[in-house]
Amino acid sequence: MTKNIILLNAKGGCSKTTSTVTLGHGLVIQGKTVLIVDLDAQGQCATLLGMEQGPGVFDLLISERKTKEIIQQSGRPGLDLIPGNQKTATAQNVLTIERRPISELRDKLNGLGYDYILFDTAPSINDLTALGIYASDYFLIPTAVDFLSTEGIFKVMQSIKQIQEQTGHNGKLAGILPSFADATKETQATLDDLKNNFPGAVLPIIHRATIMRECAAAGKTIFEVDPQSRAAQEYNALISHVLQVTK
């Protein structure tokens, strides 16, 4: 059975897209099949994978094309992508105007046969994000270890709760992923605050690492650039957690 996971935060700059792509490739390395669906109009999942952005999400939700015709191979066996671009924002507008059912995305992706479907999202809680929340079995919330990013977690949790109360959806929190961590007192204070507010939900940290920017520029994941690096090992810990939580 496919497990759907959405990565979301109401603020940008929290390593959400990087974590989506890295988690997806890491799961494939562990023998799983993965489809990434980019619900962000910035379309950066394709960029991080060395692919072209495209109107995949628009075609999925608005056009009459079949879902399997829209899926693109990443060049990494087992890892596929439905890309996004600026037309994703048009899809968002159409969904709002036409008041499409919240099950629209889930229904379009049902029965594809992947082990995992991962949703990357815009740094806001919009109608597309709501569709992604409803389509997901698990929520993973990356956050930079600063006050503004952690404030976004409360907005996300409130939105999830509201959708669940309205629809009866029963997805689970897979964890809160602290990213861009360093050795400053601010980082430690923010981590302590996270653990106090969300006991048992805070995952091991992802440190700030220059090599991740190098990966982005090359259109490759950390597992292709330096699988022995600290960044790779930290993401491997996330992958192990996801495999354990979703088994």
What is the full per-residue pLDDT of the chain (247 aa) written as tens digits?
Answer: 999 999 999 888 889 999 999 999 999 999 999 999 999 999 999 999 999 999 999 999 999 899 999 999 999 999 999 999 999 999 989 988 988 899 999 999 999 999 999 999 998 889 999 999 999 999 999 999 887 767 788 889 999 999 999 999 999 999 999 999 887 888 888 899 999 999 999 999 999 999 999 999 999 999 999 999 999 999 999 999 999 999 9
Location of structure tokens 């082990």:
115
Location of structure tokens 């497990």:
3
- Which residues neighbour 23 within 8 Å (Cβ) at sequence distance 6 or greater? 5, 7, 118, 140, 235, 238, 239, 242
- Which residues neighbour 78 within 8 Å (Cβ) at sequence distance 6 or greater? 28, 32, 33, 34
Q: What is the pLDDT of residue 186?
A: 83
3-class DSSP state of 197: helix
Cα gap 130→151, rounded to integer Å: 19
Cα dihedral 203, 39, 229, 213 in deg (nearest 10) = -120
If phi > 0 it is left, if psi is from -120 to 50 it is alpha, else beta; for residue 100 that is beta
Cα gap 175→243, rounded to integer Å: 13
Domain 3-246 class, CATH top level: alpha beta
Contact 196, 189 (CB under 8 A): no
Domain regions of the chain by residue span: 3-246
